[in-house]
């Protein structure tokens, strides 16, 4: 008996104790979520997502890696912490040719690698040649394809040479317009600005097919010799140690913004040549960003420290950053609550926590991102080869209702997200007004009419509809398995059932199984796509449907759209260009190759003492602006206003950096 009673006592004691503890903790920290104490050692602890594939900035294509590279590597330009617009980095200033097809960069002479070696224009030439080299296996090299002959070099293509002359595009009937150049004339420059050469497939069999398909080419290639495109042929030139010229094959007004991407950041030639693929190991690695590697513990922590060799080391505020790779969202939330981390990556608040987290006004941020979700429609398979059928399904979706239901997203009713490119939004409004506001948008009544016109009559049965002739059993809506994707799919399924009387079967698949289904157009009907912009220009979204080998996964090839895009991108006046792009966008929207769904939002948290870190369109942080504020009086409050708010320290630092850029010639 005695032993029983004492056991009961212990139990009761334990219960009371734990209840007390629970009471204390929740009342003590109502303003902030969990333990909120600025770390004394000035080292930021950040959950970075999946384990980084490699520390080589030119190879992987993931976002977790991108954020780590921002700490370790620098390029010609960097991102503005709020807008992601390009700001001077290793280039202090630049000039742009009137045709926006050539850029001249003036480099700072104080740039150094982490081993103390100076960074010169030659290092940029090396880095870009290496990035495009087929054996580097870069998965982001295609971003650089506007650079002259880079695509040909990357694809192992060959020039066609007869005697001493090369076959040119204009020989086959292409047109060539090259505006004025910029910078001094050199031997290389003469070559790169001469009429563009024809480049054919490097593989003999494929080339033979290519030649056989085009009689003009066949005649021209008769008895010709094929010369491989070399690294030295791409349009990147070191004019002197601190002047770099990049020549493009056509005008690309968005190119400058693209140069902040990791692919264009400098890599160390000596180290790579000496160690080969082992160059990114702790004992070998040489970097050039604000931080350098201190410790690599795969799947546990990647620790970086301020690099005293960095040209702007005096303005790097943190002593170091600890990147924690992690897959489980709830684990990251636990660490955040326990005060063991200071911030985590975007989209990492689990759906079930969002409602509660919204209450933490000084920490939770949900800002629109340059990232969209939509359903691609396979236009190659019936019934969706009929544009009217596609339009009916697009018109039957109410995106506003979807976003109200989803809570963390904003409605997407066009192709490029709204709220990310302010000037483009204005241009789009103007074009929409020109079109009389008659653009493809939610209209259930019209959707039923369109579907009926397409040959699938929609019948009204009381308050519901049905469409008995529609081949529902042959189509499906595919998505990769995840809680939020399922919610969206069920919501849209319900809308189609209510508005068209069609119940589209849902099909979910594991991510890597789903991808080839979509990329290779094996699906019939709809497949979910999530697209994140690579740079801050609408072209990164509209370009999805551009060209023959486009990334839209819809099977559509539309020469009219391609022409509209080419014309827009060779327009030098930014405002006019935006209007032309907007026309192309509404044209493509009307082709109804996608069902627009949502603009994704950051769904992100950081502790209030972490400053200089913003929910910008990519949640990409230029880490040298980030600092830890010890004085609670200066902590971030009400982060809904964080983008409009002012931080004198960040603003001064930014102004000092931007001041080196002269007024640019040309546009932008």
Partner 1 sequence: MALLVVTLTWGLVRLAPGSFYSAEKKLPAAVEANIKKKYGLDKPWYQQYGIMMGNILRGDFGDSLRYTGQSVNEIIWRHLPYSATIGILAYLLALIVGIAAGTFAALKQNSGFDYGSMSAALLGLSVPNFVLGPILVLIFSFWLYWFPPARWGGVASLVLPVVTLAAIYAAYIARLARAGMLEVLRSDYIRTARAKGLSETQVLWRHAIRGGLIPVISFTGPALAALLAGTAVFERVFAIPGLGSIFIQSVLNRDEPLILGIVAFLSILIMIFNLIVDISYGLLDPRIRYE
Residue 188, number of CB atoms within 10 A of its CB: 17
447 backbone dihedrals φ, ψ, rounded to 5°: -60, -45
Q: Lay out the site mask for partner 1 across 153-182 (x = CB under 8 A, - = otherwise).
A: -xxx--------------------------
Shortest CB 221 distance to partner 1, Å: 20
Binding status of residue 285 toward partner 1 by CB under 8 A? no
Cβ closer to partner 1: 155 or 574? 155
Cβ closer to partner 1: 16 or 212? 16
Binding status of residue 142 toward partner 1 by CB under 8 A? yes
Interior/surface letters 95-127, b for 16+ CB within 10 angstroms, e for the rest: bbbebbbbbbbbbbeebbbbeebebbbebbbbb
Query: Residue 225 is encoded by which pair of tokens?
Result: 């010799």
The DSSP 8-state label assigned to residue 281 in this structure reads S
Binding status of residue 219 toward partner 1 by CB under 8 A? no
Dist CA 226 CA 202 (whole Å): 9
The DSSP 8-state label assigned to residue 239 in this structure reads E
Binding status of residue 335 toward partner 1 by CB under 8 A? yes
Binding status of residue 207 toward partner 1 by CB under 8 A? no
Burial of 616 from C-beta contacts in 10 A (0-12 / 13-18 / 19+): buried
For residue 262, CA distances in Å to 61, 75, 485 come to 9, 8, 29
Which residue is associated with the tokens 């982490």?
A: 114
Binding status of residue 13 toward partner 1 by CB under 8 A? no
Binding status of residue 280 toward partner 1 by CB under 8 A? yes
Selected range binding partner 1 among 260-268, 297-305, 350-358, 397-405, rule: CB under 8 A: 297-305
Shortest CB 275 distance to partner 1, Å: 9
Selected range binding partner 1 among 251-259, 277-285, 286-294, 583-591, rule: CB under 8 A: 277-285
Query: Among 6, 10, 25, 464, which residue interacts with partner 1 (rule: CB under 8 A)?
Result: 25
Binding status of residue 21 toward partner 1 by CB under 8 A? yes
Shortest CB 249 distance to partner 1, Å: 16
Burial of 358 from C-beta contacts in 10 A (0-12 / 13-18 / 19+): middle
Binding status of residue 4 toward partner 1 by CB under 8 A? yes
Binding status of residue 551 toward partner 1 by CB under 8 A? yes
Binding status of residue 277 toward partner 1 by CB under 8 A? yes
8 A C-beta contact, residue 131 and residue 144: yes
Shortest CB 402 distance to partner 1, Å: 20
Shortest CB 434 distance to partner 1, Å: 33
Residue of 493, 398, 395 whose CA lies nearest to 445: 395
Cβ closer to partner 1: 95 or 203? 203
Instruction: Indicate the SS3 state at residue 192.
Output: helix
Dist CA 540 CA 78 (whole Å): 18
Dist CA 253 CA 500 (whole Å): 43
For residue 124, CA distances in Å to 263, 271, 439, 534 come to 11, 15, 45, 20
Dist CA 244 CA 118 (whole Å): 15
The DSSP 8-state label assigned to residue 313 in this structure reads G
Count of residues in contact with partner 1, rule CB under 8 A: 62
For residue 282, CA distances in Å to 123, 136, 455 come to 21, 20, 65
Residue of 339, 308, 306 whose CA lies nearest to 320: 306
Binding status of residue 557 toward partner 1 by CB under 8 A? no
Query: Residue 56 is encoded by which pair of tokens?
Result: 């080589």
Query: Among 172, 180, 228, 511, which residue interacts with partner 1 (rule: CB under 8 A)?
Result: 511
Shortest CB 335 distance to partner 1, Å: 6
Selected range binding partner 1 among 21-29, 109-117, 118-126, 599-607, rule: CB under 8 A: 21-29
Cβ closer to partner 1: 40 or 512? 512
Selected range binding partner 1 among 36-44, 113-121, 178-186, 273-281, rule: CB under 8 A: 273-281
**What end-to-end distance do the CA atoms of the chain give, in Å?**
86
Binding status of residue 515 toward partner 1 by CB under 8 A? yes
Shortest CB 191 distance to partner 1, Å: 23
Dist CA 61 CA 219 (whole Å): 41
Selected range binding partner 1 among 150-158, 359-367, 420-428, 494-502, rule: CB under 8 A: 150-158
Binding status of residue 299 toward partner 1 by CB under 8 A? yes
Residue of 350, 366, 365 whose CA lies nearest to 608: 365
Cβ closer to partner 1: 114 or 140? 140
Cβ closer to partner 1: 213 or 644? 213
Residue of 590, 575, 502 whose CA lies nearest to 253: 575
Query: Residue 211 is encoded by which pair of tokens?
Result: 């030649």
Binding status of residue 350 toward partner 1 by CB under 8 A? no
Binding status of residue 517 toward partner 1 by CB under 8 A? yes
Instruction: Indicate the SS3 state at residue 110.
Output: coil
Binding status of residue 138 toward partner 1 by CB under 8 A? yes
Residue of 537, 570, 568 whose CA lies nearest to 99: 570
Binding status of residue 139 toward partner 1 by CB under 8 A? yes
Shortest CB 497 distance to partner 1, Å: 28
Query: Residue 119 is encoded by which pair of tokens?
Result: 């960074």
Residues near partner 1 (CB under 8 A): 4, 17-18, 21-22, 25, 34, 50-51, 53-54, 56, 59, 61-62, 134-135, 137-139, 141-142, 151, 154-156, 277-281, 297-300, 324, 326-328, 330-331, 334-335, 337-338, 340, 510-517, 519, 529-532, 549, 551, 553
């Amino acid at each position: 008996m005695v032993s029983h009673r004492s056991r009961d006592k212990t139990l009761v004691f334990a219960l009371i104790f734990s209840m007390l503890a629970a009471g204390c903790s929740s009342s003590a920290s109502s303003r902030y979520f969990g333990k909120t104490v600025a770390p004394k050692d000035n080292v930021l602890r950040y959950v970075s997502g999946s384990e980084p594939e490699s520390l080589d900035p030119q190879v992987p294509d993931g976002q977790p890696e991108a954020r780590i590279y921002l700490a370790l590597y620098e390029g010609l330009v960097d991102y503005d912490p709020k807008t992601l617009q390009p700001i001077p980095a290793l280039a202090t200033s630049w000039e742009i040719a009137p045709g926006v097809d050539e850029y001249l960069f003036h480099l700072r002479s104080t740039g150094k690698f982490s081993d103390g070696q100076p960074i010169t224009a030659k290092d940029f030439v090396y880095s870009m040649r290496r990035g495009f080299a087929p054996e580097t296996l870069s998965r982001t090299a295609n971003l650089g394809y506007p650079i002259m002959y880079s695509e040909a070099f990357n694809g192992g293509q060959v020039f066609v040479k007869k005697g001493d002359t090369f076959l040119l595009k204009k020989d086959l009937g292409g047109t060539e317009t090259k505006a004025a150049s910029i910078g001094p004339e050199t031997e290389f420059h003469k070559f790169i600005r001469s009429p563009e050469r024809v480049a054919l497939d490097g593989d003999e069999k494929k080339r033979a097919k290519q030649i056989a398909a085009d009689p003009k080419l066949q005649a021209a290639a008769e008895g010709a010799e094929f010369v491989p495109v070399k690294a030295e042929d791409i349009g990147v030139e070191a004019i002197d140690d601190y002047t770099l010229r990049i020549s493009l094959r056509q005008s690309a007004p968005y190119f400058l913004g693209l140069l902040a991407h990791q692919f264009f950041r400098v890599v160390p030639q000596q180290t790579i040549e000496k160690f080969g693929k082992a160059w990114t190991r702790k004992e070998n690695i040489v970097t050039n960003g604000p931080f350098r590697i201190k410790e690599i513990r795969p799947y546990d922590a990647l620790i970086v420290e301020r690099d005293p060799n960095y040209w702007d080391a005096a303005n790097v505020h943190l002593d170091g950053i600890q990147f924690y790779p992690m897959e489980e969202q709830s684990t990251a939330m636990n660490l955040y609550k326990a005060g063991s981390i200071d911030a985590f990556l975007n989209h990492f608040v689990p759906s079930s926590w969002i409602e509660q987290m919204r209450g933490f006004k000084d920490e939770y941020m949900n800002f629109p991102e340059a990232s969209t979700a939509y359903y691609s429609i396979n236009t190659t398979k019936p019934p969706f080869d009929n544009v009217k059928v596609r339009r009916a399904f697009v018109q039957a979706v109410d995106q506003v209702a979807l976003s109200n239901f989803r809570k963390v997203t904003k409605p997407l009713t066009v192709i490029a997200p709204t709220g990310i490119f302010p000037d483009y939004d204005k241009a789009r409004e103007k074009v929409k007004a020109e079109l009389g506001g008659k653009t493809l948008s939610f209209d259930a009544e019209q959707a039923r009419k369109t579907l009926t016109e397409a040959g699938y009559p929609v019948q009204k049965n009381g308050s519901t509809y049905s469409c008995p002739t529609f081949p529902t059993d042959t189509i499906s809506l595919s998505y990769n398995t995840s809680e939020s994707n399922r919610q969206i799919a069920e919501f849209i399924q319900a809308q189609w059932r209510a508005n068209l009387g069609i119940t589209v079967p849902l099909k979910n698949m594991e991510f890597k199984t789903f991808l080839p289904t979509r990329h290779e157009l094996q699906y019939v009907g709809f497949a979910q796509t999530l697209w994140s912009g690579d740079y801050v220009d609408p072209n990164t979204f509209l370009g999805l449907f551009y060209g023959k080998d486009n990334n839209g996964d819809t099977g559509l090839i539309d020469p009219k759209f391609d022409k509209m895009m080419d014309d827009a991108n060779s327009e030098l006046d930014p405002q006019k260009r935006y209007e032309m792009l907007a026309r192309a966008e509404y044209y493509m929207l009307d082709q109804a190759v996608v069902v627009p769904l949502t603009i994704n939002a950051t769904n992100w948290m950081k502790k209030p003492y972490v400053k200089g870190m913003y929910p910008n369109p990519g949640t990409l942080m230029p880490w040298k602006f980030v600092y830890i504020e010890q004085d609670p009086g200066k902590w971030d409050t009400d982060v809904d206003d964080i983008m409009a708010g002012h931080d004198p320290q960040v603003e001064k630092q930014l102004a000092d950096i931007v001041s080196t850029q002269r007024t640019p010639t040309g546009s932008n």
